[in-house]
Structure 1
Amino acid sequence: MEPTDESPQLGDADVDREALAADGADLAALAEELGVQIDEQSAQGAPVDRWRVVKHHHSAGSILLGAPTDLENKSWRVAYVQTRAADAMIRVHPDVMPLRASRSERRRGLMLRWPETMTTRQVADDFFIDIVNAGHSRWIPDGDGFQAVGVFTEPGVTAFSFGWASSGGHRAVPLDPGDYARVPVTVNSATWATLEPGEHDLHAILTGLDLRTDRPLRLDVSAEQIARHRALSPRHSLQPTERRRMIDAQITQTRAMITAGASLTRIAEAIATAETDREAVTRITQLLDCGEDGAQSIYDSPLRELRAGNAPSLESRIAELTRLRDAL
């Protein structure tokens, strides 16, 4: 099985490359083979044939099905099955999903480079990164965006996790060899509430493509700089008790994301049939019994951050948050 980073994607979901080329079958026949029913309402307007299993998460008990909607197999409908559910059935997602190359292929030729103005030891109020086409041919986006997030770690630390929510902006643009696009690096405002003065490494990640800087930016963060960033946040000037409460909330939300990794297909099914964002969050809350804040963080998270394989990094994040809370 190839690494998920090298797997093609239907929308944002990683799928098995060989399964895409497999022979398809009638949806009804596939349902009979899997021993489940079809949610006929969700299947209205969907293809009746050419369906196949494109991903099977054995540990999570979930199956992702797909059927091309064109002769070139570039557009697909997908469906979800939660095999361990008492009412296990095939539920078809309402949207057509584009077949995309893997993240590894889509980011080929790109690199992240800190602008010269960012390489001093003084921390600026704003951070920027250059997305450079270091390849020999024109780079063209495939449904990707140019959204970069920043993560502070202790000097020399390279293992870290991060969460992000799409802003809907920073659309990717084609880049000829040698061209670059300079984009802002967004640091979560909650980071400044717990960051301590001193030397830190700033890592930049191009979300969606999972492209990271080869080297972090070593910065000497001052108390004054931290205070300025905290003042920009509606949660600035936090007292220790408020900071502990905030960190506890982050821990709870991170644990909810770990739980979500084992129920991702059921969550997708709940969201697909919800008529409003509010209803989707309510359904996640009921499904995972995780509280509304945890459900909202799950709903706002990209699918790849919720996959079960990210659990170890999320556990590390909980350990770091617990350390920060206990130090208050």
Structure 2
Amino acid sequence: MRDDTAPQLGQHDIDRATLSERGTSLAALLAELGLDVVVPPDAPPDAPPDGWRVLTPGEPEGASMLLGTPARDDGSAWRVAQPSGATGGPAQLNVHPDILPLRPSVAERRAGLVLRWPTVTRDLLDVDALAVDIVNEGAERWMPSGDGLPAFAALVPVGSESAPYFFGFTVGSDLPVPLDPGEYRRTLARVDASSWERLHPGPHRVTAFSPFLRLTSPETLTIHLTAEVIAAHRRQPAHSVPEPQRPRELAEERLRIVRAMRVGRDAFPRLADAIRDLRDDERALSRIQDILGCAYDEAQAVYNLQLRRARVGYPDVLALEIEALEQELATPGDDEGAAPVE
């Protein structure tokens, strides 16, 4: 579910109708959903026993289901939980350790903000100096509400209607300040390093976007990329590499891995117990494969997952990356079905 007008808990868009439901006991809801779930012993003791309902339904191929119950009578804060989706036995129910405030929708939180290319960027057309302005074009002061405003740039060959794009997060950076009407904040729109592997010389359209508030520049720039510029930005392999995958294949492969990382994140307590006493990495990887029912490379991704990326509260960086990849693959385009960036 992606709805910019929906309220949010963390980074999850919530169907407004579910907020007014009466709910039921957690045990009854899990039974209704057909989930054989083990509640972790370290679940918060103050988690309400009643009022639970499905806030966000699970989606195909690993997207998380979100369950919740009001933590306050006025519905301004919620206790939430997510089934892990693990296979090979009872799933893990991960009860979020913190109470999450019900947030206004993305559309409300970004009201008045637009991304605008400044004159200096238009003049230089330098892929390493893609400054973009976050401008308050509204009539009222814009106030931050906990979202970072990192900016990224997507490069799409002129004449192509679509291409997958990727981005990396540095959580805690790019925190914005209030902006009065007409004020702006200038920041660098970064091109993700992995993007250069699929680029070829020629003219490219450049679109700026900021993922947390789902802002996209209404106007694109055109930059001519030379072979020298592309080579300078590509990672230099130590050995010869096979022919690069097509862009859609890269997006599908990354989506498969990130989904496995999210399933592994949700099963962290169980995985930690399972591998604690194993003697080497290979045994640990084999055990992760058995628990999650996943491929070897997926187990490696879970095993190497940074603890920073295990946070479920906002920003849920794995959920955001999965959402972006699913968007790119959802609409058929010129490049084997990749979706447009704008």
Provide TM-score, normalisation by structure 1. Answer: 0.76
Residue number in structure 1 paired with 2:156: 153
Kindly tell me: are residues 102 and 95 of structure 1, through their superposed partners in 2, closer, same or farther at Cα, counting changes over 3 Å?
Answer: same
2:297 to 291, 297, 305: 291
Residues 59-81 of structure 1: CA deviation (Å, up to 9, x unaligned): 45864211222333232221123
Residue of structure 2 equivalent to 1:93: 96
Amino acid at match of 1:11: G
Deviation (angstroms), 1:38: 4.8
The answer for the alignment partner of 1:220 in structure 2 is 224
1:48-197 equivalence runs, <5 A? 48-57=49-58, 59=60, 63-81=65-83, 85=87, 86-88=89-91, 90-120=93-123, 122-168=125-171, 169-197=173-201
CA deviation vs aligned residue, 1:104-129 (integer Å, no higher than 9, x gap): 33222111100101113642532111
Residue in 2 that maps onto 1:305: 321
Q: Distance in 1 between matches of 2:86 and 2:305?
A: 25
Please list every run of 5 or more consecutive structure 1 residues that lacks an aligned counterpart in the other structure. Answer: 322-328
Question: 1:95: how far off?
Answer: 3.2
Cα distance in 2, alignment partners of residues 48 and 74 from structure 1? 18
Q: Identify the structure with the greater helix proportion.
A: 1
Q: What is the alpha-carbon distance in structure 2 between the residues aligned to residue 289 and residue 79 of structure 1?
A: 26
Cα distance between partner residues in 2 of 1:105 and 1:219:
33
Other-structure match for 1:269: 266
Equivalent residue letter for 2:321: E
RMSD (Å) for aligned C-alpha atoms: 4.0
Q: How does 1:37-48 map to 2 (within 5 A)?
A: 37-45=37-45, 46-48=47-49
SS at match of 1:5: coil
Q: Please tell me the residue identity of whatever aligns with 2:142.
A: W
> Could you list the per-position Cα deviations for residues 119-149 of structure 1 after superposition, in whole angstroms to 9, with x for gaps in the alignment?
1364253211101111111212222111011
| Structure 1 residue 56, shift from structure 2 partner | 1.9
Give the distance between the partners of 1:284 and 1:215, measured in 2 at CA.
46
Inter-CA distance 206–42: structure 2 relative to 1 (3 Å threshold): same
Partner Cα separation in structure 2 for residue 209 and residue 294 of structure 1: 28
Rounded Cα–Cα distance in structure 1 between residues aligned with 2:121 and 2:196: 19
Q: Is the 8 A contact 1:258 1:311 kept in 2?
A: no
Q: Alpha-carbon deviation of 1:314?
A: 9.4
Greater RCO, CA 8 A, separation 6+: 2
Q: Is the 8 A contact 1:121 1:219 kept in 2?
A: no
Q: Which amino acid aligns with 2:22?
A: D
Q: 1:143 to 1:273 in 2, by over 3 A?
A: farther
Residue 152 of structure 1, CA deviation: 0.7
Q: What is the match of residue 206 of structure 1?
A: 210
Residue-pair matches, total: 311
Query: For 1:284 and 1:107, how far apart are their aligned partners in 2?
Result: 40
Closer/same/farther in 2, CA of residues 254 and 33 from structure 1, 3 Å limit: closer
State the TM-score, normalized to the length of structure 2. 0.74
- Write the distance in 2 (CA, Å) between the matches of 1:318 and 1:272: 40
User: Which amino acid counterpart does residue 270 of structure 1 have in structure 2?
Assistant: A
Q: Given that residues 38 and 91 in structure 1 are in contact (C-alpha distance below 8 angstroms), is that contact kept between their aligned partners in structure 2?
A: no
* Alignment partners' CA distance in 1, 2:145 and 2:200: 39
